[in-house]
Amino acid sequence: MESLEVACAGVINMAKTSSFWNGRQVLLTGASGLVGSWLVEELLSQGAQPVCLVRDRVPDSRFFSEGFDKKVTVAAGELEDRNAIERVINEYEPATIFHLGAQTIVQTANRSPLHTFRANIEGTWNLLEACRTHGKAVEQIIVASSDKAYGDQKVLPYTEDTPLQGRHPYDVSKSCVDLISQSYAATYSLPVAISRCGNFFGGGDLNFNRIVPGTIQSLCKNEAPVIRTDGKYVRDYIYVKDAVSAYLTLAEKYKPALCGEAFNFSNEAQMTTLEMVSLISKLMKKSIAPKVQNSASGEIRNQHLSAKKAREVLGWKAKYGIEEGLAETIDWYLAYFGKKRIG
């Protein structure tokens, strides 16, 4: 009898979780990106009705290769076009918005800061202004900031009270995104909550300049992984499925008392770049020494986050350790490279 009660309780808990999203109109920016594609997949599995603002069709993105674009409403447009954003919000009346869209590559931002500032900063104020003027149905807006918004700090780990002081282009763009979001929450009571995560990794990241997919690709080709820094830069790494869980939890637990609040999400297991490459090599059973170029510039040396607030306020914690997440990630890329030439 007891086991039946436990089983029924489990069914009820699952129903409560899925009922929040079942039939819910959800707008996503950045749906074709790494985290966006996994978030779309999870929202679909829970019965949501995603509307995805998409600028470019990237065939190899999971969003397209897995056919998610055929299961959602795709609205063509870019973040810099406020008219396009206003139209989407006005016509589809989303209850929940996930603002993940951004130019996310640090080195790209260093080469072309104005493009990054427009996409990230102007794109954010366009979205929030459209919500202010046309978003009567909007119940929560989850804005993706970043640990980069904190900039270089002497005291680590970052907490949500750490000042936002980005200095390099990408970091500055995220500091601004964060502060603009807080401003709209404080001034207009816009239902905004902010996420700050470290470096995402997981299957579907096709930017092979990043250390995780780049290392896996190199080892698959029996080549030496390339490290642009001296290998001693410290980073927070979060598996993409934990990131999806973080975004969903923040939306589900949102209430007026959280308006304008920011939350760090992390498994709190920071690593150096050399440690990350070494772990990937171990999991892939490869012993090829990396090429340490020590040529990177304009990047923060040491970063890691405290997720204490997310644990205590939201009841969230990472489900995947780094090694477990990497194992799944490696499996994804082995399958991907099995279908495509990597030479």
The reply to whether 170 belongs to the active site is yes
175-178 long-range contacts (CB < 8 A, ≥24 apart) are 175/149, 175/150, 175/151, 176/117, 176/120, 176/121, 176/124, 177/102, 177/120, 177/121, 177/124, 177/143, 177/145, 177/149, 178/143, 178/145, 178/149, 178/262
Would you tell me the crossing angle of helices 240-252 and 322-339 to the nearest 10 degrees?
120
Cα three-residue angle 191-194-200, rounded to 5 degrees: 145
Take residue 209 and report the two structure tokens written for it.
């300049």
Helix (H) or strand (E) holding 261: none
Please tell me the distance from the alpha carbon of residue 195 to that of residue 181, in angstroms, as a whole number: 11
Q: How many other β-carbons are positioned within 10 Å of the β-carbon of residue 323?
A: 12
- For residue 145, the SS3 value is coil
- 141 Cβ contact partners less than 8 Å away, ≥ 6 residues apart: 96, 97, 99, 127, 128, 131, 135, 181, 190, 191, 192, 193
Q: What number of other Cβ atoms are within 10 A of residue 8's Cβ?
A: 10
Cα separation of 258 and 263, whole Å? Answer: 10
Residues 283-316: b if buried by 16+ CB within 10 A, e if exposed? bbebebebebeeeeeebbeebbbbbebbeeebeb
Interatomic CA distance for residues 261 and 51, integer angstroms? 25
- Exactly one of 170, 233, 237, 333 is catalytic; which is it? 170
Tell me what percent of the chain is helix, strand and coil, each rounded to the nearest 5.
Answer: 50, 15, 35
What are the catalytic residues? 170
